[in-house]
Amino acid sequence: MRVLVTGGAGFIGANLCRELAERPEVDRVVALDDLSTGHAENLDGTGAELVETSILDATLVARLVADADAVVHLAARPSVPRSLADPVASHDVNATGTVRVLEACRRESVHVVAASSSSVYGSVPYLPKHEDLPTRPLSPYGASKLAGEAYVLAYGTSFALPVLTFRFFNVYGPLQPAGHAYAAVVPTFIDAAMRGEPLLVHGDGEQTRDFTFVGTVTAVLADAVVRRVACAEPVNLAFGTRVSVLELGRRLSVVLGGPVEVRHGPPRAGDVRDSQAADDRLRLLFPGATAVPLEEGLRRTVAWFRGRPAYAESAMP
């Protein structure tokens, strides 16, 4: 089996390439990435072939898809704050780029597994979030991911294309970058704590998230590819946990073995207040899927950070 991973040099993509390489059913993995947020060195040791290009390059995307048995579409312009700074760029990659990938897959009848986001639920107040709820994105990022998701499902219905779209919930783990304005909360907290700096909490810190370890996500994605799982409806890829940002800081301090200081800043525009997945549909399609507990996932993530040269002289034990 030959698998093309768009966004393959990114945080989730590179972890997936490593997971796919370990599956005996997979003979070849190609990572397509423009390296705008991904890094070529993330693929070291995976055996994946890197093709440096954008998913907006329809000609090259078509050529790569024609040589694939399955496509995992992860390429995106991530981050709510980034989408607020440049909404059109988020739309171009997340919506138009998804259509370019789907067009190539339609011509070749290639199985597509695509990444959506929990941000599509937006301001819907119900918990846990189940896939039949209405969608009310609060940011251009959420809107662009919803558009991409809708296109994936529409192509499945319109062209009998085998598709599966997952709504990711706050994925974290090794290879997730820190130290930039759009970094996610887990690497941002770890980076600050290991530098001996306070954790910046936006708002009161009581906002909640369903944190999902990247190894859990990539195991499900790889299983979906190998078994050619398809579904006409979106599927949450999370397991129904609900942890506040302040509680995340407390659990991180336990993993790090020392107290961490917290300072509060203003809330961020476009942030969802509470997020928690209903996992019924996921468990129906993937009954063997198991979640890595948050403490274990944090330990693995901290271990990865400690192996990075920038943290060799960490102030934390």
State the catalytic residues.
Answer: 141
Sign of CA dihedral 248, 249, 254, 256: positive
| Cα 100 to Cα 17, 30, 54, 69, 237, distances in angstroms | 22, 17, 10, 17, 24
Burial of 203 (0-12, 13-18, 19+ CB in 10 A): middle
Q: What is the DSSP letter of 95?
A: I
| Cα 30 to Cα 33, 59, 204, distances in angstroms | 10, 16, 43
> Residue 249 in contact with residue 262, Cβ under 8 Å?
yes
3-state secondary structure of 49: strand
> Residue 131 in contact with residue 233, Cβ under 8 Å?
yes
CA-nearest of 25, 31, 13 to 214 is 13
- The strand ranges marked E within 148-282 are 163-168, 171-172, 199-202, 208-209, 212-213, 235-237, 243-244, 262-265
Omega of the bond prior to 128 within 30 degrees of 0, cis? Answer: yes
Print the SS3 string covering 13-29.
Answer: HHHHHHHHHCCCCCCEE
Question: Residue 50's beta-bridge partner residues?
Answer: 31
User: How far, in Å, CA of 245 to CA of 268, rounded?
Assistant: 13
3-state secondary structure of 158: helix
Q: Which two tokens stand for residue 5?
A: 């991973």
